[in-house]
Amino acid sequence: MATVVTDRDDEYFKECKVEVAGKKTRTHVNLDGVFWTNSEKNQWLVGLFIGTAMLYSARTLMPLCVVPLSEEMGWDKTESGTVLSAFFWGYTMTQFLGGYLSDRIGGELVLPVAACVWSLITFWTPQLAYLSTDKHNSLYIVVLSRVLLGISQGFHFPGMTSIISRKVSEHQRSFLFSVVASGSHFGTLIVGSMGSVLMDYFGWSVPFYIIGLIGLSWMLLMRYMLMAKQRSRSVVSHKESLSLDNDKFKPEPRTSVPWVYLFTKPAFWSILVGHFCENNAFFILLSWIPTYFHENFPTAKGWVFNVVPWVVTIPSSIGSGWLADKMITKGYSVTFVRKTMETVALCGTAFFLFMISYASSYTSCLIVMALAVACCGFHNSGIFVNPQDIAPKHAGSIFGIMNMAGAIPGFVGVYIAGHILEVTKSWNAVFSQTAVICLVGWAAFTLFGTGKKIV
């Protein structure tokens, strides 16, 4: 029979000296669910990476197909911008709810339900577009389907953040989170390559059917082969293996998020502003890159300019996560690391957006655009993971609020970009104002951001 000799409370786990048959040993019991083992971490890394890739594949299908769809439906630039931005109206609605539910009942339950919904909406989008022969009615139906897609996808990142903050130690989070988040670029790469080929040969509707089916397949795989197995694990099994007194290792009760206190902290506001500004650049590039190259270089191959920016962004996202964890391990403060990553993300993106105005050839425009998107990858190791630093016990809820702010430029910025193009016919005007907004976000996070725990 094991007895606890001494113990020490820590933020996430209790370090104990345990005496078994007269022999003392030391172990850790997690107060909020055990951390993943290496094999479990690898399983979840692959699973969440694929899920994020499918999520972004479904999300970026419309920007890829909006040109032929607009020509078929008779939409102008403003109407196309409405369709592209409609996704983010829904995406904003469920960010906080996704984080709250994930913190309360577990992201393991939230993610597959949401994935089922957005996969089905993706699959049925072509049929919804043809429900009416009237141009305006078709526009309204497609806009509504995009809103519903956003509502269902709004649960994914807050849920994923909640899971990782509970199951991964601080010095491993940057790399794992950046790898998982790089699935967004991989998903965009899949759509840009495979989707472009399918659209050229079979029409714009076929990619929607295929990505929808793949999304459903991922949901079933995660639900029945990984998540069900993971939920069967519990702190109780770990305690029983040690024969410890259960009363000493009851998980701490969930506490409410201290919103009033958070709203008084400049560090909290800095991540909202910084995430808003970075997402404004990312979503405008994500939504309008295909149209930009179609208009300026009509003979260019779609599979090239829809692929190259995301090819270079995957290593930048993963590499920034590895570098961030390495710097933290070497003794650099978390605050310094987060600000360094975000400086590359926001200042780098702003610089290359300004440089687009001076690029004239197809090759130079493609290189500059790819570098601008690649800089966005460093955001995954900066502000994107910062909620886990400042509020580890409430990371899902905090991330939900942050991502809700970050989704606003998805419908405001993307729509305004379309309107500016309709009125001025100037891409430089769009990219220049986007670059200035990036610099505003960088200044806010550099001055007020922190990597220290505040709640």
State how far the Cα of 430 lies from the Cα of 292, in Å rounded to an integer.
Answer: 11
Largest CA distance in the chain: 82
pLDDT at 360: 82
State how far the Cα of 231 lies from the Cα of 227, in Å rounded to an integer.
Answer: 6
pLDDT of 264 > 80? The answer is yes
Amino acid at 412: V
304 sits in the region (left: phi over 0; alpha: psi -120 to 50; else beta) called alpha
107-137 tens-digit pLDDT: 788 888 899 999 999 999 999 888 877 778 8
State how far the Cα of 306 lies from the Cα of 40, in Å rounded to an integer.
Answer: 34
pLDDT of 271 > 60? The answer is yes
As a whole number, mean pLDDT of residues 19-39 equals 54
Please report the DSSP string for 50-78 in residue order.
HHHHHHHHHHHHHHHHHHHHHHHHT--HH
pLDDT at 255: 65
Tell me the whole-structure pTM to 2 decimals.
Answer: 0.72
- Report helix, strand or coil for 20: strand
- Report helix, strand or coil for 4: strand
Q: What is the pairing mode between strands 23-30 and 13-20?
A: antiparallel
- Report helix, strand or coil for 130: coil
**In whole angstroms, how far apart are CA 455 and each of 59, 94, 168?**
33, 23, 18
Short-list 173, 190, 180, 176, CA closest to 157: 180
| DSSP H or E stretch at residue 6 | strand 2-9
CA dihedral 373, 353, 413, 318 (to 10 degrees): 20
Most confident of 36-45, 158-167, 339-348: 339-348
pLDDT of 27 > 50? The answer is no
Which comes out higher in pLDDT, residue 152 or 247?
152
* DSSP-H helix ranges across 203-307: 205-221, 228-232, 235-242, 259-262, 266-296, 302-305
As a whole number, mean pLDDT of residues 384-403 equals 84
* DSSP-H helix ranges across 154-203: 156-167, 170-181, 183-190, 196-202
pLDDT at 448: 94
**In whole angstroms, how far apart are CA 450 and each of 98, 215, 267?**
24, 36, 6
Which domains are seen in the chain, by residue range? 2-34 (no CATH), 37-233 (1.20.1250.20), 258-454 (1.20.1250.20)
As a whole number, mean pLDDT of residues 405-414 equals 80
What are the beta bridge partners of residue 9? 14
- Report helix, strand or coil for 132: coil
Asked if 50 contacts 160 with a C-beta cutoff of 8 angstroms, the reply is no
Burial of 374 (0-12, 13-18, 19+ CB in 10 A): buried
pLDDT at 233: 53
pLDDT of 32 > 50? The answer is no
Please report the DSSP string for 79-113 in residue order.
HHHHHHHHHHHHHHHTHHHHHHHHHHH-HHHHHHH
Q: How many helices and strands, by DSSP H and E, does the chain display?
A: 21, 3
Q: Lowest mean pLDDT of 209-213, 216-220, 351-355, name the range.
A: 216-220
277-326 tens-digit pLDDT: 999 998 888 778 888 888 888 877 766 777 788 788 888 888 988 899 88
158's CB contacts (< 8 A; 6+ apart) are: 95, 96, 98, 99, 102, 107, 396, 397, 399, 400, 403
- Indicate the average pLDDT of the chain: 81
319-337 tens-digit pLDDT: 988 899 889 888 889 999 9
417-442 tens-digit pLDDT: 878 887 888 888 889 989 999 999 99
pLDDT of 249 > 50? The answer is no
pLDDT at 418: 77
pLDDT at 237: 46
pLDDT at 253: 53
